[in-house]
Structure 1
Amino acid sequence: MTLLSLLNRVGAARGCRYTSHASFTIFCLRDNINIKRRPTPVGELQFSLNVADTYRQYCATAYQPLHDMGSVDNPSLAGIQLPTIKLDTTLTELYKRASPKNENTRLGMVFCGVNSGLDLNPDFPRNTKYLYQDSPFNTVPRKELSRRNHELKRSLAMKYLSLIPQRDAFIAGPSPVIMFNMNQSPSTVAHDREEASTTLSVLEPSQRPNLIFCPGPSKIPMKEHGIDKITYKIVADGLESYPLTHSLETHWMLNSKAGLARSGLPTPKCDIISVKGYPPTSPKSCCEACRSDKRANDLTFIPVTCTGPRGQWLKTQSSKILSAISSRSVPFVIKNQQVFGGAGTWVVTSQEQKDDLLSDFESPDGPLRKLLSQVTAENHHMDPAAIIISSMVSNPIGDYGLTFFVNENGEHIFLAASEQMIDGNNAWVGSTIVYSRQKALYEKFQELIRRTAEFVSKHGYVGPVGIDVLETEKEGETETHTGEETKFHVVDLNVRTSGSLALPLLKGHFTGRGLDCASSFGITVKGTREEFVRKWKTEFEEGRMFVLSWYEDREEGSSIADVVVGAKDEKGLSGMIERVREGSEEVVF
């Protein structure tokens, strides 16, 4: 019997699991990591350190019991009895049902967001091959998209590396979920771990994920945690070297706007303005303006003053796109090829808005120049800088978000159809789910869901999918890209977990309490998680509200979060959301 086997036999009775790495045996006992050095010719050195001081490759193991870390047992929340939340099913269970041949495959799940504008931290560089045009990429001036912009990097890292992954980890089930730290300082490493663990501690123990923290995508400890394959939410350049459930390039294509237009699904008629080729030479061999660019380590940028072949290429491609926009009559919708977080879409309903859009696109620091500057020999075949000009759906009477899980045989598991919530002023206030309507809504959209599942399955994808659908009163009221006449128009296709995916998996939790409606949304609040929970103590204790993800910015004294609320009916839900909104700095659905 090896030393490691013996340690695991002894440790099993204490809820521990031991792993070996390099010249150390590493094992976890509650919140401490003890390290025992293997014998050396001069004897044996023993020492133990606190987890915050020892973290380099590991921050939490897949085997550490989360229930010892969370808010349920947190003494600072004394007097508050949080209910245990049990999901109807989890992503782990759905993946096993979807692919029986991979039932014994240990999937590691990566739910982080990505950025193509700047590095999130030194271990998580910006995407340069698989481009995404999120809000900072499109709106932040190039001079601010710098590794020296610590405030912007920290803000994005909180959202992309903690808030979004926590939200999806909540529904992951007992699988390894890989999280990436904001940075490698001991205090931040400990804080990242505490925030995620506290969020997940309210889950029924058998449904809690196994958190694995590491510095970045290139440093995922696959062998150490027995991970066979990685499944992921958003394509990150750094994932290319791992065994994956599906191709990065295929996944990027399935989520692209041109991919949707060519899918055969009933999407509004559109024009795809493609970009030909890529900048024909490197900055160093182009011209003096390119050679003297002092920001070469930040976002790639072809300067306005470029007089060489790079500048000429950009001018030619820009003119083609701007001409297409100029000749299009309003109303219309402009979309980037690949967007994330609700960015990269411009709805143009008047000549004034069109003029503003053209002015923005033509500006020296606008989204078009930034985007074209990122086209390379490595990625140009994916047409990452294409612009899609789409017709608007005429007189929509319904707006739905459909979520389902695609099996390897092309069949699907319906999860939910969410609906818009409209207030008394006809203003949109969020997407909600009404559990009692799900059967009727599935019957309404079953054929569209079937077609979508068949499309993504043909490309080898197995996993969660979301589609946004606008309904018109009459068939053919809006022309589709395929020419078919329909009432249902797919305006977005998200081949990944959606922000509201938790809602259908919480049906039993809410309906068991007599609550037929629920909504999840993001908030920004002053103060801490504890202060927020105490403010809504009754709602939390009754299971009508809970935290889906939370990250406290201790430098600013504020927090960003996703919360879930439930109510008996839509009126009650609307009132509850409004009360949360009044006490928050910002509400994002």
Structure 2
Amino acid sequence: MGSRDGPDQVMAGFPTIQLDTTLVELYHRARPKNGHLRLGFVFCGVNTSLDLGPAFLRNAKYLYQDGPFASAPRQDLTPDNTGLQKSLAMKYLSLIPQRDAFIAGLKAPVFLFHLKQTEEQMAHDRREAETTISVLHPLQRPELVFCPGPASIPIKAHGIDKLAYKVVLDDLEAYPLTHDLDTHWYLNSKASLAHSGLPTPRAEIIDAEGFAEAAGSCCELCAKDQTDSSSMNFIPAGCTGIRGKWYNEQAARIMHAVEHHPVPFVVKTQQTFGGAGTWVIRSEQQKKDILKDLSGNNDSILRKLLSQVTASNCHLNPGSIIITDMVENPIADYGLTFFVTASGGAVFLAASEQMTDGDNAWIGSTINYTGQLRLEEKFNDLIGRTTAWVGKHGYYGPVGIDILETKTAGETASHTGESTAYHIVDLNVRTSGSLALPLLKGHFTSRGLNCASSFSITAKGGRKDFIQNWKSEFESGRMFILSWYEDLEAGSSIADVVVGGEDEKALQEQMKRVRDATEEVTF
């Protein structure tokens, strides 16, 4: 069982972590005239596959495709699958929001959501989050506010003027927000990057035309299938009514485009995170495999996706499939993070290098603090162009762009037709997984650690066990926990950890030791 010690007992004797700046300070810098407003933050993740709990329903309007959506059989995407539901809730309701809460800033209200509404569960949720932020300097600790779900965020009780959020939740429509939900969802969509005029690989966008009518207006099979919220307005393979006809027409257009696109290429759904919903096709056999996965039986990706295109969201084109050219022979993979201001400027934060697993899922980032000035100058033009694009849509706040660099310009065709060696392959208009790294520069460099990395792990046991195994690293400030959640029933934990090294060689050695003793977390 996990520790019942309070935060001060668990983390006693370790260095206090002090950030160079915080999100609250960056927001005030980005829009000084709103400095008097009290911002609240919602950093959780969301999906359209499965309710995360009775008070946290899946998104039905603003669609997101995560790993289970793309790969799990439909019969597994129900509330009866308590194992999958708990796994997703641990990641989306605790692991991700803790990571961003860590950098939120002094007394910033961060709204978190309980996995379950039992007294024991709620106490555990709170203890895990409070223990994580207890290592922060007291003048940088956020205010953690727990509530059952996004439909019951107590903004009035906490004097909140506006909510800033990471990803769009359906239930956020009821609150005053820093940004319009439709616009923010669009800016993070894969199609928006192709429309942006930014240097991105040549892309073909296949939009779904129209939407799936309500199940009750179709055939007996459709009406019978709608048993609970997890049905996702599903169009079963045996449907012979108007919905089945619509699905077949849309799927045929998409399948034709994929089938006739020369390899290599990349297939993406509109809204993904953590590398899910993206398939890299390098051979004719892989093309055959993705064609099989895309369409056909009740578990196919397109059937699950297109069934959720409804009258309420069709204007967003959430069912689009994007086919892009593959970047040829990349020599580097960068993740840029910066903060867009309301006046049209940008605060450069960092250029980190991305780490992915064998399935292209993001698992972490590394940064070399000594090379940041050179990288800022290298990517200054791209940052300026990206800032102008998102600013045109009224956005200010954190932005991340993923860039693949090629040895020579024009080696990969750009969607804009320009010749470039820097290809934006993803645009994240939100807090990114690597955002903490630049804000920790002073902590590491003051200890002679010029490189750092943050990455997700699965570890046996609880937080105290992990800390004991790496006690010297924690005591020296070389390692600390950015987010942690222990599954008391399974006797294991998921976490984001940060480690530092004197140089890149020392960092890689330290990372290898940690990763050899743990497993990866993917989304």
TM-score by length of 2: 0.96
How do 1:527-538 and structure 2 match up within 5 A?
A: 527-538=461-472
Contact 2:50 2:77 in 1 (8 A): yes
How do 1:76-115 and structure 2 match up within 5 A?
A: 81-115=13-47
1:484, distance to aligned residue in structure 2 (A): 1.1
Q: Deviations over 1:489-542 (max 9, x none)?
A: 100000000111100000000000000000000000110100100110000000
Distance 1:299 1:511 in 2: 51
1:392 aligns with 2:326: yes
Distance 1:422 1:587 in 2: 11
Contact 2:457 2:521 in 1 (8 A): yes
> Quick one: structure 1 residues 587 and 567, their matched pair in 2 at CA, closer, same or farther if it must change by over 3 Å?
farther
1:509 aligns with 2:443: yes
1:291, distance to aligned residue in structure 2 (A): 2.0
Find the counterpart in structure 2 of residue 252 from structure 1: 185
Q: Secondary structure at the match of 1:555?
A: coil
- Point out which structure has higher relative CO (alpha carbons under 8 A, 6+ apart): 2
Distance 2:431 2:323 in 1: 26
How do 1:238-249 and structure 2 match up within 5 A?
A: 238-249=171-182
Contact 1:521 1:588 in 2 (8 A): no
Contact 2:41 2:111 in 1 (8 A): yes
1:394, distance to aligned residue in structure 2 (A): 1.4
What is the percentage of aligned positions where both structures have the same residue?
62
Q: Deviations over 1:243-291 (max 9, x none)?
A: 0000010000000000010001000001000110012x32122112112
Distance 1:142 1:587 in 2: 22
The AA in structure 1 aligned to 2:262 is S
The AA in structure 2 aligned to 1:467 is I
Contact 1:304 1:311 in 2 (8 A): yes
How do 1:162-561 and structure 2 match up within 5 A?
A: 162-174=94-106, 175-279=108-212, 281-293=213-225, 295-300=227-232, 301-364=234-297, 365-420=299-354, 431-561=365-495
Distance 2:30 2:302 in 1: 40
1:583, distance to aligned residue in structure 2 (A): 1.0
> How many residue pairs are counted as aligned between the two chains?
512
Q: Secondary structure at the match of 1:178?
A: strand
Q: Deviations over 1:205-252 (max 9, x none)?
A: 010001111111110111110010000000000100100000010000
Q: Secondary structure at the match of 1:225?
A: coil
Contact 1:527 1:557 in 2 (8 A): yes
Find the counterpart in structure 1 of residue 54 from structure 2: 122
Distance 1:435 1:186 in 2: 44
Unpaired runs of 5+ residues, structure 1, are 1-68
Distance 2:372 2:120 in 1: 45
1:296, distance to aligned residue in structure 2 (A): 4.2
Distance 1:584 1:251 in 2: 36
Q: Deviations over 1:432-476 (max 9, x none)?
A: 100000000000000100110111111111110000001112221
The AA in structure 2 aligned to 1:216 is G
1:429, distance to aligned residue in structure 2 (A): 8.5
1:575 aligns with 2:509: yes
The AA in structure 2 aligned to 1:208 is R
Contact 1:393 1:489 in 2 (8 A): yes
Contact 1:142 1:299 in 2 (8 A): no
Distance 1:220 1:143 in 2: 32
Bigger Rg, structure 1 or 2: 1
Distance 2:226 2:44 in 1: 31
1:363, distance to aligned residue in structure 2 (A): 2.9
Greater shift in the superposed pair: 433-442 or 574-583: 574-583
1:145, distance to aligned residue in structure 2 (A): 0.7
Q: Secondary structure at the match of 2:230?
A: coil
The AA in structure 2 aligned to 1:106 is R
Contact 1:70 1:201 in 2 (8 A): no
The AA in structure 1 aligned to 2:81 is N
Contact 1:70 1:199 in 2 (8 A): no
Find the counterpart in structure 2 of residue 9 from structure 1: none
1:557, distance to aligned residue in structure 2 (A): 0.5
Find the counterpart in structure 2 of residue 152 from structure 1: 84
TM-score by length of 1: 0.85
Distance 1:250 1:70 in 2: 42
Q: Secondary structure at the match of 2:55?
A: coil
Contact 1:335 1:346 in 2 (8 A): yes
> Quick one: structure 1 residues 587 and 318, their matched pair in 2 at CA, closer, same or farther if it must change by over 3 Å?
closer
Distance 2:458 2:279 in 1: 25
Distance 1:141 1:515 in 2: 45
Distance 1:119 1:336 in 2: 20
Unpaired runs of 5+ residues, structure 2, are none
How do 1:13-162 and structure 2 match up within 5 A?
A: 71=7, 73-74=8-9, 81-162=13-94
Distance 1:329 1:270 in 2: 13
Contact 2:202 2:414 in 1 (8 A): yes
Q: Secondary structure at the match of 2:511?
A: helix
Distance 2:363 2:252 in 1: 38
Q: Secondary structure at the match of 1:513?
A: coil
Distance 2:219 2:325 in 1: 41
The AA in structure 2 aligned to 1:309 is I
Contact 2:265 2:323 in 1 (8 A): yes
1:341, distance to aligned residue in structure 2 (A): 2.2
Find the counterpart in structure 2 of residue 27 from structure 1: none
The AA in structure 1 aligned to 2:367 is I
Distance 2:31 2:392 in 1: 15
Contact 2:363 2:521 in 1 (8 A): no
